[in-house]
Chains A and B, each alone.
Chain A
Amino acid sequence: MLNLAGMAAEAEQNWPGLVQAWVDRRTPLCELRCPPSEILPEVVHWVVDELLFRFAGLIVEQEPQEWDLRYLFYSIQGPPRWARLRVRQPLDTPKFPSISPQVHAADWYEREAEDLYGVTFEGHPRLGDFVLHDDLWQEAVAPMRRDFDEKAALAERRPDLDWKFRRIVHDPGAFAMPVGPIYSGVTESVQFLLETVGEDVIRAFPRLFYKYRAIEKIAEGRNVDGCLLLAERFAATTAFAHALAYCQAVETICRVKLPPRAHALRVLVSELERFRHHVGVIHDICESTGLSVAASQAAILEEDLLRLSGDLTGHRYLFGLAIPGGLSRNLKDADCIDAVEMAVKILKRLQELDDGLRYSSSFLDRLEGVGIISPGKAWEFGLVGPMGRASGLGGDLRKAQPYASYEHFEFDVPLESEGDGFARLRVLMAEAAQSVRILCQVPVRLEAGDVAVGVSLQSGRALGWVEAPRGATFHGLHLDESGVVLRYRMITPSFVNWHGFHLAAENFAFQDFPIILATVGLSATENDR
């Protein structure tokens, strides 16, 4: 295993004159500057397959003179380290080599960049019709460009009435069932195309970005406080995690050191949110299998946790709590202890429910072997969070790249390898238990003192990351000296995992579709932004 200096040296040696390396010991990070030529895929291959870094995401930024693409990688073994590949290109040549053939996880990032910035990735076999739906928007529209004229774009657009789904099943008599965007009971706006010849569904593919609200675009030009509202509220079932990632980015830019109490309380609230989120998904799973008593009991637990959150922090979805520099309000020690005790009680009831579920063969029958994602595929698609961990793909940012004093807490990262619906349920259950385990350690770490420090805004770029309930999330922020956001990038676990959703939805019985959907527990709003 190379250290960062060694890595920099080897990179420069491997591609002499082409790759320039630079090490930042504070983060710690090794930046490799790479020309936009065919060596980019080689370097990526080296970083991922030989140095065993994981691909975190791609940040595209339009500088006044040039395109600046930053491919982020982080280590999941050994000491926490980052690698960043930086590729620049003059503004008038928006062309880059595609790295998707090497790192399939980059597929959607490149498609997204192509749709929003109008930069093309040569070698990518399938660009277009992604974020901006082709039946509404012309392909040429690139809203994230600095010179994007929304009035002209809206005035010029012509809905394409003949737009059709891309179908890939060509059996004789094959047809497709569209599901959504408005379907079933209370569901997010996502569309699925289920391709079938009648009984079994051969393949299901999601069409996302129905909820595209251009958060990254409208963030630009806002101040830090205004942008915080977006970070917090674009995906509210995991609001605190995203707000925290954003705050951490601001804090890194402004070099703020947080009081220990703030860290401890952030852990407390984070784990409370994770616990509540997982119980919510467990409720969805029970409901999708039609086990109504279990579903009701899980629903009661979810509402109990919502009420607990509301009682403790004033808001059921933990809004308005995280601010750059700490927390917006101090929580009383006694309240925290009460909350932890309550969480322990709720966990006990959850475990009783779990016991019941494991004795219900009708329930297990519907989960076992359903929606299998093999570990190999999970690695290729770089799945994160419980969905990845159920397929044997570890890597929890709380361990790999600790933040908010997680390094002081004891907990395990549950791992399963079957990759089916039941494995995902087991991971959720185990993670809920680990969250409560962390919660129990919080009261002893609550030092007296402030929960927030003042932040004096500076210019700069930084990345904030959090292991959100659905998996790793990265918020990249670029501020100017007056604290105005120049670029705000959100890399979310749902975006990564929806990319691999179709792996779980191949050759299944139609009635299993809601179950597959519930067990992966993905959020459209977190993906669409």
Chain B
Amino acid sequence: MFFTVFAVLFLAFSVAGIVCALLSPERGVALSLGCFGGVASVAMGAVGVCALISDTPFEVRLWSVPTVGPLMLSVDKLSGLFLLVSAFVFLATSIYSVEYLQAYLKHFNLRTLSVCYFAIMLAVGLVLSAADALTFLVSWELMSLFGYALVNYQKRDEQSTRPGYLMLVMGEAGFVAVVLAFLVIGGRGPGNLLFSSLRLHSASLGWHARWAVFLLSFFGFGVKTGLAPFNRWLPQAHPIAPANVSAVLSGVLLNLGIYGIIRVNADLTPLATAGPGLVVLLVGAFSALMGIMYANRDNDMKAMLANSSIENMGIITTALGAGLVFMTFHQPLLAGIAWIAAFYQMTNHSVYKSLLFFGAGAIDRNSGTRLMDRLGGLSKHMPLLAALFLAGALSICALPPTNGFVSEWLTLQCLLQSSVLASRSVKVLFALAGAGLALTAGLAVTCFVKAYAMTFLGIPRSNQARQRARVRFPIRLAMGLGAVSCLLLGVLPTYVIPILGRVSELLTGVNAAAALVPPFFNGAPGHSRLPHSFLSDFHNLGAQVGQNLLPAPGLVVLHRGHAQNPVVFAMSTSYMLPVLILLASTLFLAVRFVLARRSKTVRKPVWAGGLASLFPELTYTATGFSSPVRVTFNAVFHPQMSEERLELIAGHFRNSITRVVGEVHVFDRVLFQPLVNRASHIARTLSRMHHGRLNAYSAYVLGTLFVVLLLSRTQVEEHVVLSPALILIVALILDRLL
């Protein structure tokens, strides 16, 4: 009942938003986007909440397509969670856009943006609720196209469209892989393309086919998620996109890749062997490490945030992979915990990354630059913005008691649980991934210390950074929403985990949340079910004292040790917060009333070795700050230095030294360039197909999809191996036609 109401509301408001955008005067577009977008996203979130609460999925049967079979929408708990998270980002973005888009007024056509925005909202809703392959793929493709349109929104010249184009091409390559994956699953025909039938059918798949499904889907969705090494488009796409689009791109679209990986590999064709799970685990850890390294290197705030998204997606993927491996080793409880960690991390990332992108956008708009080398000292005239950005930065650095800490703690702890696994090599791989994540966490701190310090602290490094600016209410509200969510998700994990537990229960069949957040205190229901030994151990934690003072659920318990070694690994950000507040206020009071009585605070200029005053060019730049990281990981960055000297008289009176650092991204250097070189002559032979018309390319793909699906349904019962060949043939035919 509620489902239908909210779903219809969502649909209605989105369509109304489009209509309104087209009809309202140009100046009202931003406001209408905010209002309709806000309400639509609330409705979207409500659908998600309903799905999470209800025990049965909400299903709608759409029409039937001849030769393909019936099409269907269904919102289960997994979709529900993703809908809820996406809805949060859309809500905040809608609010933010009201103010943010004012700057675009008169320079750009806001109508296009608004229409694309609602369209992508609809597409996202559709992807998440699709319950058959065709709907899923079509909506996925629509989402990609509208995503491309949004990212490329402020295109000015050839240079700035390239990244968007790269994004499209990579996305389409991934899309082809996903199509193939579905072909393999449904290749021999269960009769229709409904997920439910595919689910049943997949059980009969052989070893080869399973690997094929995994590799194709992991590649296809991984490209969208920004996993290494196919993520070169992401850090290039973000800087050219408006900030609100960046927030959606990072906070929603990347998540959908994760959704795809889970949907295919944990739901439709659950993995049977540990191999694929380990691949996911290692690719995740590798992506995280690479992402954060490049985030450290980047001085463009948005490129840095984009690389940090890669890092976060890597962490999520690692946890995901751990879950997949645990499942194949028949450890559903651990798998559940790992997936809770993944979902938690994903939720957090959407929240704080949209917050940070909002901040970057506000700074960009006020100062006209996102380059940290040119910013500095912003906290003086934008204190609130600085505080909100700091909240996001602290969360992304995983410092307790923020949300990032909870999810990263869970992720790392569940990687440590690999000790229960039998295989030694798997344990080693888990340890490797864990070490990678630990290094990532450390580098994340340096990265965001740099981002915050170079942007907000110190003295302004350019005139632009010196400009005073007001951060208006919608921006403050949007960012405040994010900051408060960060804190709440951080201090109330015991309320979040059961919700996420419902989702993982759907996939594992075991309620991991009950294990993670057990009832500890005597009075709590279910307490008596806990083993006595555990309770007596727990006694030592002093919890028995706390039971009268503290709210009951507050501890996240991960590990209870063994009979020989009864230990409890637990953490509690909920209890930590009051302690922190208590400590901080005690300290403050002590300083204020005890120390301050005997001494007075005097403010003096920075000591600069006797220099009269410190100039901006005499202080550390972001490049300088990250230099140790760049030097340490020199092998990765591999800079090529060329020095140019200008001398007034040959050999003497040097007037300038300019060193140009040429750097090729490690993936390009190690992987793609050699590949490209090898394949260039093959490419030349196929060059007839390259005529540069974008619509033609998209038409190829859409057409291919339909034709292939039709073919696979009707006549061809042959081996999947033929499918790529088919695609090629179809593409060639289309090429002739266009």
A residues in contact (CB < 8 Å) with B = 100-101, 104, 107, 125-126, 135, 161, 164-165, 167-183, 189, 191, 195-199, 202-203, 380
Contacts and interface: CB of A to CB of B under 8 A. Distances in A.
Contacts of A202: 657, 659
Contact of B617 (A101, A172, A176, A191): A176
Most buried by B among A161, A169, A171, A176: A171
B658 A171 contact: yes
A373 B194 CA distance: 77
Contacts of A126: 648, 653
29 contacts: A100-B649, A126-B648, A126-B653, A161-B612, A161-B613, A165-B618, A168-B657, A169-B656, A169-B658, A170-B656, A172-B623, A173-B624, A174-B621, A174-B623, A175-B618, A177-B618, A183-B609, A191-B611, A197-B621, A197-B623, A197-B624, A198-B620, A199-B628, A199-B631, A202-B657, A202-B659, A203-B657, A380-B651, A380-B652
A175 B621 contact: yes
B613 A178 contact: no
Contact of B648 (A125, A169, A177): A125
Given A161-B612, A180-B610, A172 B373 contact: yes
B610 A176 contact: no
Interface string B639-656: 000000000110111111
A178 B617 CA distance: 10
Given A170-B657, A173-B624, A199-B627, A101 B610 contact: no
Interface in B652-674: 652-661
A180 B612 CA distance: 11
Closest 4 CB pairs of A and B: A198-B627, A173-B623, A198-B624, A182-B610
Contacts, number: 98
Contacts of A107: 652-653
B610 A173 contact: no
B586 interface: no
Contacts of B631: 198-199
B622 interface: yes
Contacts of A181: 609-610
Nearest to B652: A104
B608 interface: yes
A169 B658 CA distance: 6
A332 B622 CA distance: 66
B617 A175 contact: yes
Contacts of A161: 612-613
Contact of A175 (B609, B610, B619, B651): B619
Nearest to B608: A178
B455 to A, nearest CB: 14
Nearest to A377: B651
Contact of B621 (A168, A173, A182, A380): A173
Nearest to A176: B618
Chain A binding surface, main DSSP class: loop
Given A173-B623, A199-B627, A168 B652 contact: no
A124 to B, nearest CB: 9
Contacts of B350: none
B246 interface: no
Contacts of B618: 165, 175-178
A171 B653 CA distance: 19
A172 B299 CA distance: 10
Given A174-B623, A198-B624, 20 more contacts: A100-B649, A101-B652, A107-B653, A135-B612, A168-B656, A170-B656, A171-B657, A171-B661, A172-B373, A175-B617, A175-B624, A176-B618, A179-B609, A180-B609, A183-B609, A189-B610, A198-B623, A198-B628, A198-B631, A199-B628
Given A167-B617, A171-B659, A174-B621, A125 B649 contact: yes
B624 A196 contact: yes
A198 B625 contact: yes
A125 B652 CA distance: 10
Contact of B627 (A125, A168, A195, A197): A197
Contacts of A172: 373, 623, 661
Interface string B359-386: 0000000000000010000000000000
B448 to A, nearest CB: 18
B2 interface: no
Contacts of B620: 175, 198
B657 A169 contact: yes
Interface residues of B, number: 36
B622 to A, nearest CB: 7
Contacts of A173: 299, 373, 621-624
A164 B613 contact: no
B626 interface: yes
B630 interface: yes
A377 to B, nearest CB: 9
A191 B657 CA distance: 21
Interface in B88-111: none
A198 B631 CA distance: 10
Contacts of A125: 648-649, 653
Nearest to B611: A178
A169 B644 CA distance: 10
Contacts of B628: 198-199
B706 interface: no
A439 B244 CA distance: 82
A101 B652 CA distance: 8
B633 interface: no
B298 to A, nearest CB: 11
A164 B615 contact: yes
Contact of B609 (A104, A182, A195): A182
Contacts of B660: 171
Nearest to A167: B617
Contact of B658 (A170, A182, A191, A203): A170
Interface string B239-283: 000000000000000000000000000000000000000000000
A171 B624 CA distance: 11
Contacts of B608: 178
A128 to B, nearest CB: 13
Contact of A191 (B609, B621, B626, B651): B609
A318 B324 CA distance: 83
A173 B299 CA distance: 9
A176 to B, nearest CB: 5
A23 B649 CA distance: 34
Contacts of B661: 171-172
A199 B621 CA distance: 12
Most buried by A among B617, B621, B657: B657
A122 to B, nearest CB: 14
Contacts of A135: 612
A28 B625 CA distance: 60
Contacts of B299: 173
A114 to B, nearest CB: 15
Contacts of B622: 173
B609 A178 contact: yes
A101 B651 CA distance: 10
A126 B613 CA distance: 25
A135 B610 CA distance: 14
Contacts of B611: 178, 191
B400 to A, nearest CB: 30
Contacts of A198: 620-621, 623-628, 630-631
Contacts of A179: 609
Nearest to A195: B657
B637 to A, nearest CB: 13
A178 B612 CA distance: 12
A285 B256 CA distance: 62
B65 to A, nearest CB: 55
B13 to A, nearest CB: 46
B645 to A, nearest CB: 9
A161 B612 CA distance: 8
A458 B611 CA distance: 47
B342 to A, nearest CB: 36
B647 to A, nearest CB: 9
B654 A168 contact: yes
Contacts of A168: 654-657
